[in-house]
Amino acid sequence: MISVDEARTRILADLRPTPAEIVALANAWNRVTAASVVARLTQPPADVSAMDGYALRAADGTLGATLTQIGAAPAGHPFAGTVGAGQIVRLFTGSVVPDGADAILLQEDATKDGDRITVNEAVAAGRHIRRAGQDFAQGDAVIPAGRKLTARDVGLAAAANHPWLSVHRRPRVGILATGDEIAMPGEPIPTGGIVSSNSHALAALVRASGGEPVVLPIAADTKEAVAAVADSVLGLDLLVTTGGASVGDHDLVISGLQTRGLVVDFWQIAMRPGKPLLFGNLGAVPVLGLPGNPVSAMVCAILFLVPALARLSGLPAAPPPATTALLGAPVRQNDQRADHLRATVGTDAQGRLVVTPFPVQDSAMLRRLATADALILRPSHAPALPTGAEVPIVRLDSLGL
């Protein structure tokens, strides 16, 4: 058995970011840039007013002065002439400052009487003028490669005049559930059987992590049925299996796929829930085999599949983001298997995060998993800890997982 960290390192070392594709700016939110976004223009393109008001020569803008309005420059309609001594031009936020002017008189500091404008507050040269290129200049790399685009980034790419962006293709992740006992929701359930939940939870997790799930038909519990899946993996960036990987008579995923060339890297990890975790390669396609228990499958997916999807998507590959909280109940000493306790998160009277593990941690209790706010990370051989001790946690709610 290898450690969680070593397993993750070996998985990530085997994965490469997907190639680039071009998407419309309107579809680029939450995608990962495959190239830096370089500004195609300078912003602002010229010196512009930061306020509604008037453009004039600073020397003319003394308290009490009265100037002659010679024109107006609404945004998008620059004033073509030059502002001379004693002259003033109406403008608005974003209007280009006309030639000759070097100061802005704010609208609220002016009195207008026909074309006569009186200065009620002295101006300062350059004040309220946004200089050309203050935001960015043509040729600037305004967004780096490998960034998951936020709404703000999309706005910035638009301002830099990009109708299309080069992003990493969404990783295509095949999801294979195995087992004679499972049925799809709404379909007839075999005697003694249950409804498949893992493939649906994993498909959602793949979506939440920027991937494209490909849910394969459920494979029966025979070597041949599992082996036949090898024909479905062409074009996948990763194959995820659930179940059939435990010790015993039913380690069908390994034996079935080995008949089609599966090379196993490792298949046991010192962790709980989820010891039987498989990683290997089926030709060019990496294979991640998750346990069949729904809770084990999801915990392993959070620890390994989410970072794998980050790596495939072109993002930095890292463990799931951890923070710390104070224990709301004591925890026992841990054995050699790193544990991941399902827990609720609240705050104490001082506003500090408090994490309280569920008293029962059964790996088949999906309902409890769904109501958990966090996993408490318990390293191998971690000592017993009292209420109030600080522990590392992974928040689940904020990740959409």
Residues 230 to 249 in contact with a second copy, rule: CB under 8 A: 246-249
The tally of CA atoms less than 13 A away on the side-chain side of residue 28 is: 29
Which one of 134, 166, 255, 361 is in contact with a second copy (CB under 8 A)? 134
Q: Which two tokens stand for residue 394?
A: 């992974």
Chosen residue from 20, 70, 145, 189 binding a second copy by CB under 8 A: 189
Contact flag: residue 124 with a second copy (CB under 8 A): no
> To the nearest whole angstrom, how small is the minimum distance from the Cβ of residue 388 to a second copy?
18
Sole binder of a second copy in the list 14, 135, 212, 265 (CB under 8 A): 135
Q: Which member of 1, 20, 58, 215 binds a second copy (CB under 8 A)? A: 215
CB of 261 to a second copy, least distance (A): 26
Q: Least separation, in Å, of the C-beta of 397 and a second copy?
A: 7
Smallest separation (angstroms) from a second copy to the CB of 287: 21
Of the candidates 190, 261, 283, 388, which one interacts with a second copy according to CB under 8 A? Answer: 190
Pick the binder of a second copy from 75, 85, 263, 389 (CB under 8 A). Answer: 75
Is it true that the peptide bond before 44 is cis, omega within 30 degrees of 0? yes
User: Does 315 participate in binding a second copy (rule CB under 8 A)?
Assistant: no
Q: Is residue 188 at the binding interface for a second copy, with CB under 8 A as the rule?
A: no
Q: Which residues, 6+ apart, have CB-to-CB distance to 357 below 8 Å?
A: 327, 329, 331, 341, 342, 343, 376
Q: Does 180 bind a second copy (CB under 8 A)?
A: yes
Is 113 a binding residue for a second copy by CB under 8 A? The answer is no
111 in contact with a second copy (CB under 8 A) = no
Determine, following the binding rule CB under 8 A, whether residue 191 of this chain makes contact with a second copy. Answer: yes
> Residue 90 forms beta bridges with which residues?
54, 72
Residue 322 binding a second copy, by CB under 8 A:
no
Least distance (Å) from a second copy to the CB of residue 330? Answer: 24
Please, which residues have CB within 8 angstroms of residue 294's CB and are 6 or more apart in sequence?
197, 198, 201, 363, 364, 366, 369
Confirm or reject binding of residue 275 to a second copy (CB under 8 A).
no
C-alpha to C-alpha distance for 78 and 388, rounded to whole angstroms: 65
Residue 161 engages a second copy in binding (rule: CB under 8 A): yes
Q: List the interface residues with a second copy, window 325-384 (CB under 8 A).
A: 351, 362-370, 372
Of residues 74 and 330, the one with the C-beta less far from a second copy: 74
Could you give the string, one character per residue 33-72, with x where binding to a second copy holds by CB under 8 A and - elsewhere? Answer: --------x-xxxx---x-x--------------------
Determine, following the binding rule CB under 8 A, whether residue 13 of this chain makes contact with a second copy: no
Residue 160 in the binding site for a second copy (CB under 8 A)? yes
Q: Does 14 bind a second copy (CB under 8 A)?
A: no
